[in-house]
Amino acid sequence: MNLSDYYAITPLVFLVCWAIFLLLVDLWIPAGRKGITALLSAAGLLIALVLVLRSGEQVLTAFEGSVVVDGFSVFLSVLFLVSALAGIALAHDYLQRLGLERGEYYPLLLISTSGMMLMTYAYDLIEVFLALELLSIPLYILAGFSRLNLESEEASLKYFLLGAFSSGFVLYGVGLVFAATGYTDFPGIAKAAQNGSLNPTLFLIGAGLVLTGFGFKSALVPFHMWSPDVYQGAPSPVTAFMSVGAKAAGFAALLRVFVVVFPGMSVNLTPLLWALAALTMFVGNIVALVQSNIKRLLAYSSIAHSGYLLMAFVPYGNASVRSDAIAGMLFYLAAYCLTTFGAWAVVIALEKAEGKGLELEDYAGLGHRYPFLAATMTIFLLSFTGVPLTLGFWGKFYLFSTAVEGGFWQLALIGLLTSLISAYYYLRVVVIMYMRPGTPQVQRNFWPLLTSGVGALAVVILGIAPGVLLNLAVSALLKGL
Amino acid sequence: MGIPVSYYLVLSAIMFVIGILGVLLRRNALVTFMSLEMMFNAANLIFVTFAAYYRVLTGQIFVFFVMTVAAAEVAVGLALMVAIFRTKHSIDLDQMSSLKG
């Protein structure tokens, strides 16, 4: 262990130190002026962003190979930092409005972000577990941030119990993998798997348990039961951050573990992944049809998107399509991140205290009274659906086409059909916004409006020129995985 | 080693299953929580056993990490339960139904 090890993880060290520093500084910031903490934490995130991008083209390895910073980590770290920035932009006015303004929100968000980043750096199962907990524990607290509000507290406890339950699965799975091979670092396990010097039964059960654990984290059906409740009960900015960050981190870990450690087991795992992806797409989209609360609707939509993302894993054993599929997944994650934050910004603009303003009926008349918000929301919903020329369309297009190339055309067909189903509930919101008379009440705060504006602009521009983002995703993978 | 390694494996599997059943069946949040710890400790048993079996330190170090993380989780979990108990005067999971689902 020497200084160059710390050089590789500078952004992470900086972020954690900055969060602790802010926790202290926050004590001297008077209540009612917590905007200063928000600005300081946003500044910290921007510095971390610069630090992440500084490494440029090189691949850094540190701590005897247990940390690897490559293009994949950089791409996802940028995604997480941008999510955290959006999480702060959405939170400040919201917390003030609901009387929840406490400075701890921001340091907790930073610590959770650092956990997500560590997840993409991890090259050892010990670190995967640590990163999982580092990102989850602050999120449990954030989910219950609206204290004395029973829904938020319940959401927090449910998230906590289910989160710890899933960590238990991951941990036991890691234990079995260690038992089967005697290693916890990725290269060691991969080598043992190649030589065949392992106990295949334990190894397979271990891999299955790890998959189950991360399935809980990323809300795959049948491990999704917690997510609508938690998404509904948690404060909206936290939900937005959770639905992008925690999900993307779960997929990042799955991707690393499966591609690097378990490539030889694709024969056994591919049918399982296939079934999970198909089930998640079906259940997520079909249950979303009957939701009348916008937060629950977005929760089920986010479950459905997990299904699409999982589609990228199915051909992972096939080396010729693998990198295309992963690039497709990174592209989809970026598109999902932009669209989700935009949509949640609109939800937050309409939300009022005590969970009012969250029914679909509350959106009636939005198109006439607030054309800007209604237009951005329409863009996001169209992008979620995957209507051509939006960013969401290209995301689905790349995923489906790699699935077909990998020989899983049935899965692509299911994806297409479920997208058609999803058009019904997404477009229903658009119809309510424009066709029904009503007097929606909107809080016109600057930061949420800016978030939705930037999101909509990005979705439209990148939808016209998706090549830019795809090139970034592909070049991220060229630097190795 | 006098005792064959498979005995440890079976014991830890039993502990893990008891933990899962506890989480799924018990309705008191505290008991559920104890069951979660049981799952963690089942994994710890595996790590310690196979660290000795393979004669590597990784497994034992892992256990230290797990114990630390579990302690952090206990802190957050108990705080949550106290907060809920103050608002609701109960930590029965069956009564956690203000969110449908």
pLDDT in tens, A457-478: 999 999 999 988 888 888 887 6
Answer yes or no: is pLDDT of A264 > 80.
Answer: no
Q: Taking CB atoms and an 8 Å limit, are A172 and B83 in contact across chains?
A: no
> What's the whole-number mean pLDDT along residues A128-142?
95
Name the average pLDDT for chain A. Answer: 91
| Locus of tokens 């921007």 | A46
pTM for this model (two decimals):
0.94
Indicate the DSSP class of residue A68: E
Preceding amide of A11 cis, omega within 30: no
Q: Which pLDDT does position A430 carry in this prediction?
A: 94
| Locus of tokens 């929301």 | A377
Amino acid type, A405: E
* pLDDT tens sequence across A268-286: 888 889 999 999 999 999 9
- A100 touches A233 (CB < 8 A): no
Predicted confidence band of residue A129 (pLDDT cuts 50, 70, 90): very high
In angstroms, rounded to a whole number, what is the distance separating the alpha carbons of residues A364 and A442?
Answer: 12
pLDDT above 70 covers a percentage of chain A that reads: 99
In angstroms, rounded to a whole number, what is the distance separating the alpha carbons of residues A165 and A159?
Answer: 10
Indicate the DSSP class of residue A57: T
Q: Which pLDDT does position A418 carry in this prediction?
A: 95
- A136 alpha carbon, distance to own chain's centre: 12
In angstroms, rounded to a whole number, what is the distance separating the alpha carbons of residues A227 and A249?
Answer: 16
Q: Which pLDDT does position A354 carry in this prediction?
A: 75
B/e letters for A255-279, b = 16+ CB within 10 Å, e = fewer, are bbbbbebbeebbeebbeebbebbbb
- A332 touches A325 (CB < 8 A): no
Query: Alpha helices of B1-101 — where are they, by DSSP H?
Result: 5-25, 29-54, 58-88
Cross-strand pairs, B92: B28
Q: Taking CB atoms and an 8 Å limit, are B43 and A168 in contact across chains?
A: yes
Residue A137 has its nearest CB partner, among B44, B65, B76, at B76
Residues of B in contact with A171 (CB under 8 A): 39-40, 43, 66
Residue A24: burial class (beta carbons within 10 Å; 0-12, 13-18, 19+):
exposed
Answer yes or no: is pLDDT of A131 > 80.
Answer: yes
In angstroms, rounded to a whole number, what is the distance separating the alpha carbons of residues B83 and A132?
Answer: 24
Q: Taking CB atoms and an 8 Å limit, are B96 and A168 in contact across chains?
A: no
Does the CB of B28 have a partner CB in chain A at under 8 Å? no
Among candidates A30, A35, A15, A18, which has minimal Cα distance to A447? A35
Answer yes or no: is pLDDT of A63 > 90.
Answer: no
Residues contacting A193, CB < 8 A, separation 6+: A181, A203, A261, A262, A263, A264, A265
Q: Which pLDDT does position A480 carry in this prediction?
A: 57
* pLDDT tens sequence across A8-58: 899 999 999 999 999 999 999 988 888 899 999 999 999 999 999 987 667
Predicted confidence band of residue A234 (pLDDT cuts 50, 70, 90): very high
Answer yes or no: is pLDDT of A385 > 70.
Answer: yes
Predicted confidence band of residue B101 (pLDDT cuts 50, 70, 90): very low
Does the CB of B26 have a partner CB in chain A at under 8 Å? no
> What's the whole-number mean pLDDT along residues A448-454?
93
In angstroms, rounded to a whole number, what is the distance separating the alpha carbons of residues A245 and A118?
Answer: 12
Residue among B9, B58, B87 with most chain A CBs within 10 A, to mutate: B58
Q: Which pLDDT does position A46 carry in this prediction?
A: 97
Residue A148 has its nearest CB partner, among B43, B80, B87, at B87
Q: Residue A78, Cβ neighbours under 10 Å: how many?
A: 18
Q: Which of A45-54, A60-69, A257-266, A323-332 has the lowest mean pLDDT?
A: A257-266
> What's the whole-number mean pLDDT along residues A145-174?
91
Q: What are phi and psi of A359, to 5 degrees?
A: -80, 155
Q: Report ipTM (2 d.p.).
A: 0.95
Does the CB of A161 have a partner CB in chain B at under 8 Å? yes
Q: What are phi and psi of A62, to 5 degrees?
A: -145, 170
Predicted confidence band of residue A330 (pLDDT cuts 50, 70, 90): very high
Residue among B14, B41, B80, B97 with most chain A CBs within 10 A, to mutate: B80
Among candidates A350, A434, A339, which has minimal Cα distance to A387? A339
| Locus of tokens 């309510």 | A432
Residues contacting A442, CB < 8 A, separation 6+: A349, A350, A366, A369, A370, A373
Q: Which pLDDT does position A260 carry in this prediction?
A: 82
Q: What are phi and psi of A292, to 5 degrees?
A: -115, -5
Torsion of CA A191, A197, A199, A203, to 10 degrees: 10
Residue A444: burial class (beta carbons within 10 Å; 0-12, 13-18, 19+):
exposed
Residues contacting A407, CB < 8 A, separation 6+: A315, A318
